[in-house]
């Protein structure tokens, strides 16, 4: 009873998370705990179970085709083997992340704000950029040392600033 009342109170001061006021999720703060019993009751309940996220069996609809897996392996630069196992593993992983599809989200949200950096930094201007370039210095600790690295070292054929890599960089290629 106490928990039910408390929950009602919590929802009574719900804050919306979206700018347009849609009740998409939001966080809420309930009234202060006033007794040990309230704390005990609050902590003894849970509103969801993370184990629900782990499927008890593989959802066959989510198993990617062999063609898809081969394509993924190629763009990943990984060996094309154990395709059956990868299909099952990927299906399990997708059951986990596809939960996102059905979640409501404020479409006005700027996805670039997901980075933990200033959302509205002072914009760079032309003068600032020019000043920045003028004051730029090489940093030894960043490895910016002239002549310290020759990227064309392994090229046997080079002329007038152009080079062809036939060996060294790529081994065993026809």
Of 98-127, binders to another protein (CB under 8 A) are 98-101, 103, 105-107, 109-120
For residues 91 and 5, give the distance between their C-alpha atoms in angstroms, rounded to a whole number.
42
Candidate list 1, 4, 20, 97; residue touching another protein; CB under 8 A: 97
Q: According to the binding rule CB under 8 A, does residue 138 interact with another protein? A: no
Candidate list 8, 12, 28, 131; residue touching another protein; CB under 8 A: 28
Decide if 9 contacts 31 (C-beta within 8 A). Answer: yes
Question: Within positions 149 to 168, which residues make up the interface with another protein, using CB under 8 A?
Answer: none
- 3-state DSSP assignment of residue 36: helix
CA-to-CA dists, residue 84 to 112, 118, 130, 162, angstroms: 36, 44, 56, 45
Question: Which one, 9 or 130, has the nearer CB to another protein?
Answer: 9
Q: Quote the distance between the C-alpha of residue 141 and its chain's center.
A: 30
Residue 37 contacts by C-beta under 8 Å, 6 or more apart in sequence?
A: 2
Question: Within positions 3 to 22, which residues make up the interface with another protein, using CB under 8 A?
Answer: 6, 10, 15, 17-18
Question: Which one, 143 or 160, has the nearer CB to another protein?
Answer: 143
Question: Within positions 36 to 75, which residues make up the interface with another protein, using CB under 8 A?
Answer: 36, 39-40, 42-51, 53-55, 64, 69, 72-75
Environment class of 81 (CB within 10 Å of its CB; exposed 0-12, middle 13-18, buried 19+): exposed
Question: Which one, 106 or 163, has the nearer CB to another protein?
Answer: 106
With contacts defined by CB under 8 A, name the span among 79-87, 128-136, 155-163 that binds another protein: 79-87
């Amino acid at each position: 009873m106490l928990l039910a009342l408390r929950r009602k109170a919590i929802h009574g001061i719900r804050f919306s998370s979206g700018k347009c006021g849609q009740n998409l999720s939001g966080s809420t703060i309930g009234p202060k705990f006033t007794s040990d019993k309230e704390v005990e009751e609050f902590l003894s309940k849970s509103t969801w179970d993370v184990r629900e996220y782990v499927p008890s069996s593989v959802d066959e609809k989510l198993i990617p085709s062999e063609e898809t897996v081969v394509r993924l392996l190629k763009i990943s630069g990984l060996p094309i083997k154990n395709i059956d196992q990868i299909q099952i593993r990927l299906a399990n992983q997708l059951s986990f992340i596809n939960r996102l599809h059905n979640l409501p989200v404020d479409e006005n949200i700027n996805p670039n704000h997901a980075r933990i950096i200033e959302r509205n930094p002072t914009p760079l201007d032309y003068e600032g950029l020019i000043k920045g370039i003028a004051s730029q210095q090489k940093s030894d600790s960043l490895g910016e040392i002239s002549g310290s690295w020759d990227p064309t070292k392994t090229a046997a054929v080079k002329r007038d600033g152009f080079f062809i890599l036939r060996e060294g960089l790529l081994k065993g290629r026809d």
